[in-house]
Structure 1
């Protein structure tokens, strides 16, 4: 059932339009990530949901009720920022209970709810400490507990992990996902980190220049990008020039070599197109049975993975294979065959 509905949202700052006709229906309990580079409009959409920005056009509905003209404190939304935004003169306990106190909740109820939240984030033992006495990860967990304490309908997270080191980021993003699933709260998460979005989301919105280029599950976004931008922004990608030789049979020519692909080709015979391929979709093979052949230009041993680059008809193709202790990495300058799974070749749209 649709819970959060964004309909024809637009936002302009002066003459500059930063969000263009944005539409999305989010289910109750879904974890949605807005993913994209700086300036793509993802944070602006989040701030419109929160009420910090007023849409130039469009509507925002939560549980069937129009929120577009409501102030932030009227929307029953929890917000976690990149900067922890904790009150430095308050203890952890008082920070978590601040929203409850403002709402007029009784002292006994506040104490019970704060204890529940501190148990949820595993920081009961730090209730009387102040923010300066906590690590960055601990402070962000307190900020999360504070946002969740008033039982909001929607939780919004604006790049909450970007100020943390890599190891803490991984641990905390997993903890956020576990808490979200436990509470079943509808969540919108903004990030520029593709690994974060792919690892914890139910669906991802890949944003580009104020528009949603593609909305889909992590599996769909990674394996079946529908635009060139999505294909290049999410994950490492090979972009290969090709010419359609037989549209009906799915035949294309890469350089002088003909390759069969499984996807429908939305272009006439003789048309130049571009194909996308993930590095893990290629592997070394005997040149007589390979999809294409080429010259090895580099071979990097990365432990569990060997990353090889092969020059095929003037175009470099990179592919990753798992390390095999019984097989040495390919030698630079040698001719090798590259076997490509036809289902892994994606026809890129403009």
Structure 2
């Protein structure tokens, strides 16, 4: 197996008595796109800034392409950085902004012009080289910021919430373009975001952070379907959490309200009578019998929300209320509020939260 391109080893960062990153470890493969996902204050941007060289670790080491860069300045690390604020030079044209890093590096005017033309084509703004930043939309400005970061051919691209200042439609379009450009260039990339949809849609792997700790590092599929902690399960996607009591730990049987269900995942050493938290995604459940569903709960429909292609139904089970999603079918009327119902699901889809 090839050596990791970026290796963050036992990194810690404290500001006085406040520790914001605790024993952080991560290996990133060449060409991999890894997202740091978490709420504000979880430490994700601090880790990115330590990789960039803007912050010095309190402890630990950082290696890029096998070289220890822990104590090197940002301009000695051969990285490209894109910030939330576009940070373009207002007195320079688009072409001059893109060429800035090349000019500082001493590239000839011919090489600068050639590379700028290449980058303008990559970001799909070939005719806008002579414009100034104020003449561009927010999405166009962020494309230019990306081109400026990529122009000097950095080894590593760091993106610090680059889409958060844009409206929703532009964000979706631009995140797809960023991923496409990243794949085309094959550049190793770290992307910081608090938006779970962004992270799930474009990442090879996601690092979910909370309280300065990496709660889970896994593929988007694993993060969503097999969260390893209660925080990850609750933070990523919509989740129903059911409180139950262990009836038979050997057989995985748990009582939820007036129903007894079996779960396939480990109860992690729980004993009979112990309280346990179970979780189900809305899309894992159905009203009534459904192929492959071997488990059921009983309750009463309390709310029905028509969302177009999906109908979200809320069902009261007694002690708690759950939400489930069913596809809209024009030939079938939606469920009726007040009706008693059976909610079914596969026992293998029940997550046991620890």
TM (norm. structure 1) is: 0.98
Q: Report the equivalent of 1:65.
A: 67
- The aligned length equals 348
Contact 2:5/2:27, CA 8 A, preserved across alignment: yes
Cα distance in 2 for residues equivalent to 1:297 and 1:275: 21
User: Within 2, Cα distance between the matches of 1:259 and 1:326?
Assistant: 33
Which string of whole-angstrom CA distances, capped at 9 and with x for unpartnered residues, describes residues 89-143 of structure 1? 0000000000000001111111111111111111110000000000000000000
Cross-structure match for 2:296: 291
- The residue aligned with 1:202 is 204
Instruction: State how far apart, in whole Å, the 1-side matches of 2:109 and 2:296 are.
Output: 71
Deviation at 1:290, TM superposition (A): 6.4
1:80 aligns with 2:82: yes
| Higher deviation after alignment, 338-347 or 160-169 | 338-347
Q: Tell me, in whole angstroms, the C-alpha distance in 2 between the residues paired with 1:217 and 1:246.
A: 33
1:35 alignment counterpart: 37
Per-residue deviation at 1:286? Answer: 5.4
* Cα distance change on mapping 1:139 and 1:299 into 2, 3 Å: same
Give the alignment of 1:263-274 within 5 angstroms. Answer: 263-266=265-268, 267-274=270-277
User: Retained in 2: the 8 A contact 1:84–1:143?
Assistant: yes
Corresponding position of 2:352: 347
Aligned pairs (5 A) from 1:137-286: 137-266=139-268, 267-285=270-288
Gaps of 5+ in 1: none
Unaligned runs of 5+ in 2: none
Q: Distance in 2 between matches of 1:7 and 1:286?
A: 50
The 5-angstrom pairing of residues 289-328 of structure 1 reads 291-328=296-333
Could you state the TM-score of these two structures normalised by the residue count of structure 2? 0.97
Query: What SS class does the counterpart of residue 303 from structure 1 fall into?
Result: coil
Is the CA contact (8 Å cut-off) linking 1:286 and 1:336 kept in structure 2?
A: no
**What is the alpha-carbon distance in structure 2 between the residues aligned to residue 122 and residue 294 of structure 1?**
54
CA distance in 2, matches of 1:213, 1:42: 12
Distance, in Å, in 2 between the alignment partners of 1:243 and 1:260 is 12
Q: CA–CA distance in 2 between the matches of 1:89 and 1:41? A: 34
1:269 Cα shift? 2.3
Contact in 1 for aligned 2:209/2:216 (Cα 8 Å): yes
State how far apart, in whole Å, the 1-side matches of 2:120 and 2:306 are. 45
Q: Contact (CA 8 Å) 1:300, 1:308: kept in 2 or not? A: yes
The Cα of 1:270 is off from its aligned counterpart by 2.0
